[in-house]
Amino acid sequence: MSLVSLACADSDGELPREYRRMAVPEERLASVDAKARGQKLFLQHCALCHGERGDGQGVRREGLTRSPRDFTSAAWRGSTSPRRVYYAIREGVPSTPMPNWKALSEQDAWDMTAYVLSISERP
């Protein structure tokens, strides 16, 4: 478990300072209600590219310059952190088709983060 924490801490080191220092709302990330709200937002904003199951198989994946992230991947989950997911939602991912979602409130972005992180935990 400590190796996963170290890997996440290292990946957070690449984030801008404001995101590295951001408090992670652990209770919100574990909340069933937050995950349900995040799922609704994901289906509304993200499923076209990432797929309804978050497996990267959305209908808009064809023709993108880079395949959408597969959130069902345990390898991906082991290499990321809540801050990195939140950052990608808020700022987008440079050099990829992933846009920023600054139009979402911070609370909505954390709810979506909670849901995205939970996708790899489903059977």
Q: Does an H or E element contain 3, and which? A: helix 2-12
pLDDT 10s digits, 54-92 = 999 999 998 899 999 999 999 999 999 999 999 999 999
**Single-letter amino acid code for the residue at 68:** P
pTM attached to this predicted model: 0.88
Q: How big is the chain, counted in residues?
A: 123
In eight-state DSSP terms, residue 64 is -
Q: What value does the CA radius of gyration of the chain take, rounded to a whole number of Å?
A: 14
pLDDT 10s digits, 32-49 = 999 999 999 999 999 999
